[in-house]
Amino acid sequence: MTLRPSRWSPVVAALHWINAALILGLLGQGWLMTHAAFEAGTTFDLYQQHKSFGFVVLALTAIRLAARARSAAPPPVAGWEGQLARAVQALFYLVTVLAIGAGWLLVSTSPLPIPTRFFGLFVVPDIAAPDAGVFAGAVSAHRIAVYAIAALVALHVAGTLKHHVVDRDDTLRRITFGRARARRA
Ligand code: HEM
């Protein structure tokens, strides 16, 4: 018999909620900056902020994966719902990294090279030379990946709410803060 904590560690939970807020913010801000008609200076600032926060999400995702691997995990959710939840979470990590990689590639290969200044502190190096064909592909890949993230967010939130409101179980509490009790796995 293995004993497991009833919830994730506070570090893993904090990284989950910070990344969730940043990704939701990036989805809204990314949509606004590409669809609304702002002044040129405002659009420029929004793009720079978007790229900087995108790199913050990349760093936090790496830290979160490392923190997850080092912390004791709560018992896995059983049955097909658990399998679906785990598949959605794995896809989240994959698509997030793909979205950020495609974003980095598109700003690197843009025929209109504009340096990415990380919150105005330093220039993020490009990962490829300007190339109109690669740029067009990377723009599409970024768009597909970010809308896949939006769909996964909807699925993830719907599943969590179903557990919390309909089944009234502890699924949501596993990723909230509080005292962890030992559980049999
Ligand atoms: C998880 C992280 C990210 C999310 C959720 C996100 C989200 C978005 C969204 C929703 C759009 C608008 C898509 C459309 O309707 O055309 C967008 C566009 C854009 N993103 Fe991101 N983004 C992320 C990371 C990044 C990163 C790391 C970079 C660059 C380093 C980047 C650069 C851009 C650029 C330049 C555009 C405009 C593309 C165009 O002109 O069509 N993004 N992003």
Residue 60 belongs to what domain range? Answer: 3-184
pTM, two decimals, is: 0.93
Q: Is the CB of 107 under 6 A from ligand 1?
A: yes
Element of type H or E holding 122: strand 122-124
Q: What residue's CA is closest to ligand 1, atom 42?
A: 103
Q: What is the CATH number of the domain that holds 94?
A: 1.20.950
Cα of 171 vs centre of ligand 1, distance in Å, is 31
Three-state secondary structure call for residue 25: helix
Distance 172 CA to ligand 1 centre (A): 29
Count of structural domains within the chain: 1
| pLDDT, tens only, 12-39 | 999 999 999 999 999 999 999 999 999 9
What does the alpha-carbon distance between residue 71 and residue 12 come to, in Å, rounded to a whole number? 8
Percent over 70 (pLDDT), the chain: 98
